[in-house]
């Protein structure tokens, strides 16, 4: 069976893992979460551009994936090319779902909810210019929502006040009342879908996870044995509550590795 390595700063990539499972992908999935550097949306671009490819190269040398998924908009809109340059396998990125959002909007007003880094990226500007040039695109960046999603998966009910606060730049914008589609442009945010839906009723929430799952299957071409998704190991760059989250999700083990740069990885004891 082929192996996919899913990468995110934290638990956000689980939204992609769940989409892969729903799509019936015949893959073994390992996961690398750079929890020591979470949230990425507050880290300097230059540092991330060096760290992300280095982390993935170090872990890939041990985990031997057939495909790597940058299940993080903040990383993909910044370091997709750099990561592809150092890995010998295909790398699939996750970028804001602006195109389907623009196609779904009837009012011509769409929202983009992402990390503070992703909302301001040139990559995001290009996506909007290409697919939503004739629309009003309202943008909001929140690192707190990333923390909120981490806490929610660890068992804490999302606080409606924090959710509302993150959506404020959109909902309180003069054109906010006309917004009918909201792009969840951070992989953590689909994990808060219910709370976000309650905070903006009537607004369609769109994310990239299903499209990414389809793309991963198309690129990885898993065998047709049809045994479905199997979860392997979750690796974290720092111990913490996320370890229990990954175990609860069904990963075989969750362990802290790669604490510093240059990274060292203990050999695995085979899945």
The residues annotated with a catalytic role in the active site are 72, 186
Binding ligand DGL (rule: CB under 6 A), the pick from 4, 6, 9, 207 is 9
Please give the structure tokens belonging to residue 211.
């499209």
| Residue number with CB closer to ligand DGL (34 or 180) | 34
Taking the complex as a whole, how short is the minimal distance between the CB of residue 12 and ligand DGL, in angstroms? 3
| Residue number with CB closer to ligand DGL (186 or 229) | 186
Binding ligand DGL (rule: CB under 6 A), the pick from 27, 28, 146, 205 is 146
Residue 181, interface with ligand DGL (CB under 6 A)?
Answer: no
Residue closest to ligand DGL when measured from CB atoms: 12
Letters for 60-99 (x = contact with ligand DGL by CB under 6 A, - = none) are ------------xxx-------------------------
Of 71, 99, 103, 59, residue with least CA distance to 216: 71
Binding ligand DGL (rule: CB under 6 A), the pick from 83, 105, 115, 124 is 115
| Residue number with CB closer to ligand DGL (132 or 186) | 186
| Residue number with CB closer to ligand DGL (9 or 237) | 9
| Residue number with CB closer to ligand DGL (105 or 115) | 115
Binding ligand DGL (rule: CB under 6 A), the pick from 6, 12, 109, 216 is 12
| Residue number with CB closer to ligand DGL (26 or 73) | 73
Enumerate residues 182-241 that contact ligand DGL by CB under 6 A: 186-188
Taking the complex as a whole, how short is the minimal distance between the CB of residue 8 and ligand DGL, in angstroms? 5
Alpha carbon of 172 to those of 28, 165, 186, 260: distances in Å?
44, 10, 21, 42
Half-sphere exposure of 127 (CA within 13 A, CB side): 23
Letters for 32-61 (x = contact with ligand DGL by CB under 6 A, - = none) are ------xxxx--------------------
Helices 242-249 and 144-153: angle between axes, nearest 10 degrees: 60
Is residue 2 within 8 Å of 220, Cβ to Cβ?
Answer: yes
Residue 131, interface with ligand DGL (CB under 6 A)?
Answer: no
**Binding segment (CB under 6 A) for ligand DGL, from list 8-16, 21-29, 194-202, 240-248:** 8-16
Is residue 110 within 8 Å of 181, Cβ to Cβ?
Answer: yes
End-to-end CA distance of the chain: 11
Q: Which residues bind ligand DGL (CB under 6 A)?
A: 8-10, 12, 38-41, 72-74, 115, 118, 143, 146, 186-188
């Amino acid at each position: 069976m082929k192996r996919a390595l899913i990468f995110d700063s934290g638990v956000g990539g689980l939204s992609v893992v769940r989409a892969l499972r729903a799509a019936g992908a015949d893959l073994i999935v390992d996961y690398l979460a750079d929890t020591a550097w979470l949230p990425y949306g507050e880290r300097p671009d230059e540092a991330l551009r060096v760290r992300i490819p280095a982390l993935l190269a170090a872990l890939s040398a041990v985990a031997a994936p057939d495909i790597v998924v940058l299940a993080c908009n903040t990383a993909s809109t910044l370091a997709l090319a750099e990561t592809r340059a150092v890995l010998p396998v295909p790398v699939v990125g996750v970028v804001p779902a602006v195109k389907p959002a623009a196609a779904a909007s009837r009012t011509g007003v769409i929202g983009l909810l992402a990390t503070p880094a992703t909302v301001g990226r040139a990559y995001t500007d290009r996506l909007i210019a290409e697919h939503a040039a004739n629309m009003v695109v309202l943008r909001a960046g929140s690192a707190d929502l990333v923390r909120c999603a981490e806490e929610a998966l660890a068992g804490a009910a999302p606080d409606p006040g924090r959710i509302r606060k993150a959506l404020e730049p959109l909902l309180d914008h003069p054109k906010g009342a006309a917004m009918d589609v909201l792009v969840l442009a951070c992989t953590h945010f689909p994990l808060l879908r219910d709370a976000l839906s309650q905070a903006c009723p009537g607004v369609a929430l769109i994310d990239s996870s299903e499209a990414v799952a389809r793309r991963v299957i198309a690129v990885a071409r898993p065998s047709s044995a049809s045994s479905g998704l199997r979860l392997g190991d979750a690796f974290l760059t720092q111990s913490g509550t996320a370890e229990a989250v990954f175990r609860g999700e069904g990963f075989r083990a969750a362990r802290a590795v790669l604490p510093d740069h240059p990274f060292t990885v203990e050999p695995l004891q085979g899945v």
